[in-house]
Amino acid sequence: MSLVQEFHQVIRRIRETVDVPAIEEVLLPLQGRAEVKQDEFGFLILTDGSIGPFYTSLDGSLPLLRDFVSMGTYRQKDPIELALNMGDGGLATNTLALGAVNAISQCLMRLAGFDPTTVTIESALSAPTGSIGMVGYFGPLIERYLDRGYRITLVEKKPGRVPAGLNIDVTTDPAALKGCGYIICTASTLINNTLEEILDSVSPGSIVNLMGPSASCLPDPLFARGVGLVGGILIDDPDCLRRAVKCGDSWGRCGRKYQLSAACYPGLESLLAGIERQ
């Protein structure tokens, strides 16, 4: 079973137990700003205020996303149906589907009374060991790790994004990750369906840290595939988010980042059982 199919299983299991709220709104980056900034995000908001972030800067997907939002056909629709489009091959569709998966996930965690921002992960998972592999360009992290003397191998589909002069190995080939003890991977790999290839390329025993707002999903399929850490964001102030996106301001203050490991995450069935007991 593919990773996408496992996510479909999770979404169908949720549908069996929970009445998921409808889609209320889709927010996209301010026109003009997103076209010049390398990394921007959109947000799918449910009628209960649950919010699913998604990356909008992959391979020209943003114009297609703007066309979708302008039609307004998503309003009051079932996010489950949109989420089940994940992996259909269309980049814009996959992007919105992941936003729906994330929004549904945040809704479920809230209903179950699980706040992912309150957990503590094992220190051994958060500390890099050996050389570091990166999938996607994380500028501030690279600078921090270079200052600490780490060797970094960066897998980047668009090497032109990487500033010249950095003392790192840059490649487009995931096979270069073999031998890296700690892998930091962009969550946009959930959109373009490249995460499985990445996971197949790392050495056994390597710690994989999937991070970014787009990873704000229920991580069961990811932990089952050997991902060690999943980092997302809980955005619990929809009005703050709307104001920030409308003005083109930073929206990070509208939410709280978190990281989950298999040891500190209760699991889908435990979350569903908690909801049923209420």
Task: Report the CATH number at residue 52.
Answer: 3.30.390
**What is the token pair recorded at 118?**
């309150």
pLDDT attached to residue 196 = 95
Name the domain count of the chain.
1
Residue 12, domain member (yes or no)? yes
Contact by Cβ (8 Å): 132, 126: no
Residue 142, domain member (yes or no)? no
pLDDT attached to residue 32 = 65
Residue 149, domain member (yes or no)? no
Residue 77, domain member (yes or no)? yes
Residue 103, domain member (yes or no)? yes
Residue 73, domain member (yes or no)? yes
**What range does the domain containing 85 cover?**
3-115+236-252+269-277
Residue 201, domain member (yes or no)? no
Residue 102, domain member (yes or no)? yes
Nearest CA to 187 out of 67, 57, 78 is that of 57
Strand, coil or helix: 191 = coil
pLDDT (tens place) for every residue of the chain, 278 residues total = 899 999 999 999 999 999 999 999 999 998 765 444 568 999 999 999 999 999 999 888 899 999 988 888 888 899 999 999 999 878 999 999 999 999 999 999 999 999 999 999 988 787 787 899 999 999 889 989 999 999 999 999 888 888 888 889 999 999 999 989 999 999 999 999 999 999 999 999 899 999 999 999 999 999 999 999 999 999 999 999 999 999 999 999 999 999 999 999 999 999 999 998 77
State pTM to two decimals: 0.94
- Angle at which helices 91-111 and 3-17 pack, to 10 degrees? 40
pLDDT attached to residue 258 = 97
pLDDT attached to residue 75 = 84
Q: How far apart are CA 266 and CA 17, in angstroms?
A: 17
Torsion from C-alpha of 146, 223, 50, 137, nearest 10 degrees: 20
